[in-house]
Amino acid sequence: MDEMLIVDYGSQYTQLLARRIREIGVYSRVETPMSATLSENVKGVILSGGPQSVYDSQALKLPQNLVDSGVPILGICYGMQLIVHEFGGVVKKGETFEYGLTRVNFFDDAFFKTSSSNVWMSHGDSIERLPDAFMKIAESEMGVIAGMRSKDGKVYGLQFHPEVSQTVGGMRILEYFVLNLCKAKPQWKMEDYANSKIEEMKRKIGNSKVIAAVSGGVDSTVATVLTAKAVGKNLKCIFVNHGLLRKEDEEVPKVLSKLGIEVKVVDASKLFFENLEGITDPEKKRKVIGETFIRVFEEEAKKINADFLLQGTIYSDVIESAAASSTSAKIKSHHNVGGLPKEMNLKLVEPLRELFKDEVRVLGSTLGIPKSVLNRHPFPGPGLAIRVMGEVKYDRVKILKNVDEIYTSLLKESGEYDKIWQAFSVLLDTRSVGVKGDQRAYGYVVALRAVDSAEGMTASWHKMPYDLLRRISSTITDKISSVGRVVYDVSDKPPATIEWE
Which residues are annotated as catalytic?
77, 161, 163
Distances, alpha carbon 76 to alpha carbons 105, 158, 173, 180, 212, in Å: 17, 5, 12, 18, 39
Least distance (Å) between residue 173 CB and ligand XMP: 33
Between residues 334 and 493, which has the closer beta carbon with respect to ligand XMP?
493
Between residues 172 and 286, which has the closer beta carbon with respect to ligand XMP?
286
Between residues 126 and 425, which has the closer beta carbon with respect to ligand XMP?
425
Least distance (Å) between residue 377 CB and ligand XMP: 8
Percentages (nearest 5) of helix, strand, coil residues in the chain: 35, 25, 40
Total residues belonging to the chain: 501
Query: What is the spatial distance between Cα 157 and Cα 87, in angstroms, rounded to a whole number?
Result: 12
Between residues 169 and 378, which has the closer beta carbon with respect to ligand XMP?
378
Least distance (Å) between residue 488 CB and ligand XMP: 17
Least distance (Å) between residue 363 CB and ligand XMP: 20
Least distance (Å) between residue 18 CB and ligand XMP: 25
| CB 126 within 8 Å of CB 160 | no
Query: What is the spatial distance between Cα 72 and Cα 454, in angstroms, rounded to a whole number?
Result: 34
| CB 17 within 8 Å of CB 76 | yes
Helix axes 357-366, 218-231, angle to 10 degrees: 50
Binding residues vs ligand XMP (CB under 6 A)? 286, 337, 378, 380-382, 422, 456, 493, 497-499
| CB 34 within 8 Å of CB 64 | no
Query: What is the spatial distance between Cα 359 and Cα 56, in angstroms, rounded to a whole number?
Result: 36
Query: What is the spatial distance between Cα 124 and Cα 357, in angstroms, rounded to a whole number?
Result: 31
Between residues 140 and 221, which has the closer beta carbon with respect to ligand XMP?
221
Distances, alpha carbon 144 to alpha carbons 69, 74, 137, 283, in Å: 30, 18, 11, 49
Between residues 286 and 357, which has the closer beta carbon with respect to ligand XMP?
286
Least distance (Å) between residue 240 CB and ligand XMP: 13
